[in-house]
Amino acid sequence: MARYFDVHPVDPQRRAIGQVVEIVRAGGLIAYPTDSCFALGCQIGDREGLERIREIRHLDDRHHFTLVCRDFAQLGQFVQVSNTVFRTIKAATPGSYTFILPATKEVPRRLLHAKKKTVGVRIPQHVVAQALLAELGEPLLSSTLLLPDEPEPLTQGWEIKERLDNALDAVLDSGDCGTEPTTVVDYSGPEPEIVRRGAGDPSRFE
């Protein structure tokens, strides 16, 4: 049964954030809010957590998982970014974008795209997500909370708790955070490619 944490969207309670981080560090899988819908999250090295996300979402090995990072210093440890790409990404973050980039050796192989050796990264503009990342001290391995055969992600914490109670260890709720997932931009080729148009304005990458 998942524990339910109702936190303030602007000033999240430190005790609750600390308890959620303890659950993550103990190998827990959580649902948490971002600036573009809820996400599933676990520790980077949590093999079982990764498989639980795959199972909930029915994902194959071509799926790009995302490392949700607190800031650029953290992001730079896990992906290779040229100066030109760095400037472009920095201008668009924090925000509702996910960028696909070549991974560094810091990223476990099981998280990489099978052929491209890439991984998704993003820096959210959401107070609760940022508080969680600051307390954890490392990125959260994440995936949008979109269930199989459903057109839109789940948006209400109580509904997530109700429907995934036995599949999760915690639900962190701070109210509505939208239904539109991030805009995904692939920087692994010679030119940026918009893989998914979402909450972030894609025009700056076209």
What are the extents of the domains in the chain? 3-181
d(CA 83, CA 177): 32
- Band of pLDDT at residue 63, cut at 50, 70 and 90: confident
Beta bridge partners of 140: 68
What average pLDDT does this structure show over 63-85?
93
Which phi and psi (to 5°) does residue 127 adopt? -55, -45
97-155 per-position pLDDT tens digit: 999 999 999 999 989 887 889 999 999 999 999 999 999 999 999 999 999 988 888 88
- Average pLDDT of every residue of the chain: 94
Superfamily of domain 3-181: DHBP synthase (3.90.870.10)
191-203 per-position pLDDT tens digit: 999 999 999 999 9
3-state secondary structure 122-169: ECCCCHHHHHHHHHHCCCEEEEECCCCCCCCCCCCHHHHHHHCCCCCC
Beta bridge partners of 184: 98, 196
Q: What is the model's pTM?
A: 0.95
Query: What whole-number percentage of the chain has pLDDT above 90?
Result: 81
d(CA 119, CA 194): 15
42-61 per-position pLDDT tens digit: 999 999 999 999 999 999 87
